[in-house]
Amino acid sequence: MGMYTELVCAFQLIEETPRSIIDILEFMTGQREVQPNDLPDHDLFSNETRWKWMLQSDSFYFDGKTYSKIENDMIVGTCYVSIRCNLKDYDDEIAKFIDWVSPYIQKDHDRYFIGYERYEEDREPTLIFV
C-alpha cells in the first residue's frame, strides 16, 4: 500500500522563468485545466500520470490540508509558489520535482532553504535546500 510523504515548500521564481514552466506549475497546482503540450525532457515527466496530481495529493496522515498555488505578483514582477501536499512518493517524485524546478528558483546564496519533506513514520522532517 505504501506510506505517505508530506511536502511543504515555498519559493520565488526568477524573472526569466519561461512561460512553459509556469504553465506546468499552474497545471500541477490545479489552477489550469488543460495539460500543457510541451513537457520538458526531465525524469519527473517520465511517468505518464503521477507528476500531474502530486501537488494536489492529500491524505489524513498529516495535519493541515493540501494547498498548492502559484501567484503572479505584478508589483514585483515575479511568481511565488506555495506547496503543501502529501503523496506516496513511489518513484521519488518529490526529489524529481525539486530537481526540475530548482533552476528557476530565486536564490540568495549557494544553499537556499525552500521547505521540508516528512515521511509518514518519521518524527522529524528532512529540510530541502536548493
Per residue in 21-56, pLDDT (tens digit) is 999 999 999 999 999 998 999 999 997 789 999 999
* Number of domains present in the structure of the chain: 1
* C-alpha 74: how far from chain center: 22
The reported pLDDT for the residue numbered 1 is 52
**pLDDT at residue 110 tops 90:** no
Q: Which domain holds residue 43?
A: 5-129
pTM summary value: 0.93
DSSP code of residue 66: -
Residue 51 DSSP SS3: helix
Cβ within 8 Å of residue 118, ≥6 positions away:
5, 6, 8, 62, 124, 125, 126
